[in-house]
Amino acid sequence: MTDIDNLKNDLLERVAASTSPAEVLRAPELKALYAEIPKQEPAERRAYGQRVNELKLAVEAAVADRENKLSEKTLPPIDVTAPFDMNAAQPALLPAGKGSTHPLMREMHTIEDILYRMGFMVEDSREIDDQYHMFETLNFPKGHPARDDYDTFMTVETDKDGEPLIAPAHTSTMQNRTLLKYKNNLEKDEPIAVVVPDRVFRNEDLDARHEHTFHQFEGMYVGKNINVGMLIATLQTFLQEYYGKELQVRTNPFYFPFTEPSFEIALSCPFCEGNNKDCKVCSGEGWIELLGCGMIHPNVLKAAGIDPNEYTGFAWGCGIERLVMMKYQIEDIRHFESAKLDFLRQF
């Protein structure tokens, strides 16, 4: 007759050593043990059956325990949020040190940071817009000849007036929306002070200074008694902060339909300060034409429901590539969109 205690110890040892412990439950010795139950004397059969059953339960518990231990050893805890299969081979991750922020994006953050510190809110533009925001709200009525200066890309889809949608040729498309959004500031005796940096598009012949896709940032400031002196001081402060040195600005009269009076701002050359006839950045002139600006035209304020007799404001639009090219003496605007690694790795 089988010694139940010996068999139990033997089976438990086998479970503890096995990598597939459930097999022990199918051991022939166990089957033989079950077969012995009906052969017992009727008086002992019940007690014998109980001991066999206890053995079976002990082995089953040991098997479950062993299986838990084995699964802990071979499988890492599953992170259900991981963007890859945890049970697959380790993914080859790119080291963070191999990439860098594109120089334009980095400079845009710097520009936003300076203007935010000067009290401007930052708003996003959009990359498809309608002609109402591109022209009408900016005092370019239909048929206005200055519309031709903003030749850009169009879609086959049309807006509610049946005009093609456009890829904005300047960030000024956001002026009307921004004035409407922040109009309540004026009632609280606070100015509207917003900057809109984003991507713009032109149908251009490409060369070292012209790209079909580039970036601008629009600035707007509206309140009571705002004048040209504040416009020039604001831009000078911004430019000095951006280039990290004292600079002079010069205004030339210009024409934009959406500002009156309008100016072009030239900046004293941050590199030669007018002292180098061979300076490549300013071509030896000492001044660099930089951006367009002016006092917001009364019709633009009216289009947003702002009374031009009560409030005045200024606005500017500045090409970001131009600022960055001057800062780092980059000679060709096409480098930015070229994806050339030997250019990008310099930043």
Give the nearest distance from C-beta 289 to Zn ion in angstroms: 13
**Cβ neighbours of residue 186 under 8 Å, at least 6 residues apart?**
192, 222, 223, 306, 311
Q: Which is nearer to Zn ion, 112 or 285 (CB)?
A: 285
Give the nearest distance from C-beta 279 to Zn ion in angstroms: 3
Give the nearest distance from C-beta 328 to Zn ion in angstroms: 14
Measured at the CA of 29, the angle between CA 24 and CA 32, to 5 degrees, comes to 130
The answer to whether 211 and 204 have CB atoms below 8 angstroms apart is yes
Nearest to 259 by CA among 224, 301, 225: 301
Residue type, 183: K
Q: Which residues sit opposite 295 in a β-bridge?
A: 314
Query: Distance from CA of residue 72 to its chain's centroid?
Result: 40
The reply to whether omega before 253 is within 30° of 0 (cis) is: no
DSSP SS3 for 334: helix
Give the nearest distance from C-beta 176 to Zn ion in angstroms: 38
Q: Which is nearer to Zn ion, 282 or 295 (CB)?
A: 282
Nearest to 321 by CA among 215, 201, 202: 215
Q: Which residues sit opposite 288 in a β-bridge?
A: 267
Q: Which is nearer to Zn ion, 270 or 317 (CB)?
A: 270
Interface with Zn ion by CB under 5 A: which residues? 269, 271-272, 279, 281-282
Q: Which is nearer to Zn ion, 230 or 281 (CB)?
A: 281
Q: Which is nearer to Zn ion, 37 or 272 (CB)?
A: 272
Query: Distance from CA of residue 139 to its chain's centroid?
Result: 33
Residue 343 in tokens: 């250019």
Give the nearest distance from C-beta 145 to Zn ion in angstroms: 35
Give the nearest distance from C-beta 251 to Zn ion in angstroms: 19
Q: Which is nearer to Zn ion, 165 or 281 (CB)?
A: 281
